[in-house]
Amino acid sequence: MAPKVLISDTLSKTALKVFGDRGIDAVFNPNLSKDTDKLLSEIKNYDGLAIRSATKVTKEIIAQANALKVIGRAGIGTDNIDTEAASKCGVIVMNTPYGNTITTAEHAIAMMFAVARQIPSASSSTQSGKWEKSKFMGVELTNKTIGVIGIGNIGSIVCDRARALRMKVIAYDPFLSDEKAAKIHVAKVNLDELLSQSDFITLHVPLTSFTQNILSKENLQKTKQGVRIINCARGGLIDENALAETLRSGHVAGAALDVFAIEPATKNPLFGLPNVVCTPHLGAATREAQENVAIQIAEQMSDYLLTGAVTNALNMPSVTSAEAKLMRPWIKLAGHLGQFIGQLTDEPIKAINILYDGSVCDMNLDALNCAALAGVIKHQNPDVNMVSAPIVAKDKGIQTSTTRQEKSGAFEGYIKLTMTSKIRKRSIAGTVFSDGKPRFIQIKGINIDAEIGKIMLYTTNEDKPGIIGILGNAMAENGVNIANFTLGRNLPGGEAIALLYVDHPIPKSILEKLRETKKFGLVRSLQFDVD
């Protein structure tokens, strides 16, 4: 029997043709995106679900989908999919991370023109029979400074378009290397410099704990008088109430927004302000982009359902079905090693070396490399997946190398990740025990045996008495239970490390109190994607 796919969103009908040509039985019913009860009853009959942003794929829907094998999102954002629930049920979640890049970049440039020349207000005034030529005095873009926050695929295209407009381009991105900045001809600055120097500021970053309200009230006050702000990335990057205040005061001359903290945005503190241009999340809304993502997701889902090939999956590496069973714990390990490096590294990364020792050398190293890189980048870019990770790493100027070596120690096989930046080298190694569980076995050259938990505390210190007591008391006094406590040192009285696997999130107040003791070189709370 042919696999069945349900299209529950207003996806381009080109997808139907792709599915049909590949022998997939596809049903187009976009009304289901608005009828959760009907979708709940229908989904159990399908192997695949193809969506855009309107369908909310909840854990309840996934639980009802007994036959579901793959969810395909035509676009990049997967906020409307419960990926954790899908993973637990063995359902692959795919997206199309690069189908909308040009379209979204072009929309940001269009919004910049619109707010610079007050085009929407001027159009409305003229069509109402007025001729208010002197009212709508604009500014030129030529020779103005544009500050680009986030130099990923979309941000890089915006930089290219802005340079063609003869603008001076400055950029802020914690992962932007000097080499990449030079290659795309932008001046790399810190955030405060960007805020104070820019005539226009445009945002091109995902919404994370790191980027949420990156344009806060405090940061908006640091901006140049008369700045104009564009956001076609994600709602929540700007404090909308604070932006409204600065617009009313005249400190910010204008804002152009395609995204909002709450969507659909039927009301907002920015609505009604004369110097604000708004569109209803149109960044990806062009015929070309919708055709591209429709074709891509149909091809990816067909490949998976017919051959087991996995492309652009958020919760599964690109491996063959034969490799999946053997490699699954090693893929998890590679991701954990990368997450450790990524969460501890704040400066741009120049190079990553992944060393494979012993039996692991015979596995699909491309998939393991992708898992490790995705782990490194995920802290700053949660949308990254194992397929897109090498492209994102290359885009950030990260040089990746792989080393193989014959069995050299007590373990049948292990993986060692070494990160190089301008100011440091950092390394971590791990293996998979016979129980199938990944373990950390070495950090900074110090041997350990650490179980990996969802929430962990990592510290470095001099090997002196009292450290165990300080850490234990700090956790106990704040009700944080320790599941596992691992210590290591390079020599007596030398450099030491501790890894605590805990049951609850560690409050920032605990971390600050530990730092205030002056006993630790580094104190960092870490999170890992574990089952």
Residues tagged active-site = 234, 263, 281
- Which residues touch 260 (CB under 8 Å, ≥6 apart)? 235, 240, 268, 281
DSSP H helices in 384-432: 389-395
Helix or strand holding residue 367 (H, E): helix 365-378
Count other Cβ atoms within 10 Å, centred on residue 436: 10
- Which residues touch 507 (CB under 8 Å, ≥6 apart)? 478
Nearest residue to 167 via CA among 175, 159, 176? 159
**What separation in angstroms does the CA of 467 have from each of 490, 495, 515, 519?**
16, 12, 12, 8
* CA angle 181–187–193, rounded 5-degree value: 130
DSSP H helices in 266-320: 287-307
Strand 48-51 versus strand 520-527 pairing type = unpaired
* Alpha-carbon torsion, ordered 73, 150, 386, 405, to 10 deg: 180
Question: Tokens 């400074």 belong to which residue?
Answer: 145
Residues 98-118 as b/e (b if ≥16 CB within 10 A, e otherwise) read bbbbbbbbbbbbbbbebbbbb
Between CA 402 and CA 366 the distance in angstroms is 10
DSSP H helices in 7-150: 14-21, 36-42, 59-64, 83-88, 101-117, 119-127
Strand partners, 352: 400, 419
The amino acid sitting at 30 is P
**Strand ordering across the sheet containing 252-257:** 187-188, 168-172, 145-149, 200-203, 227-231, 252-257, 276-278
Say if CB 519 and CB 461 are below 8 A apart.
Answer: yes
Question: Across 233-298, where does the E strand assignment appear?
Answer: 252-257, 276-278
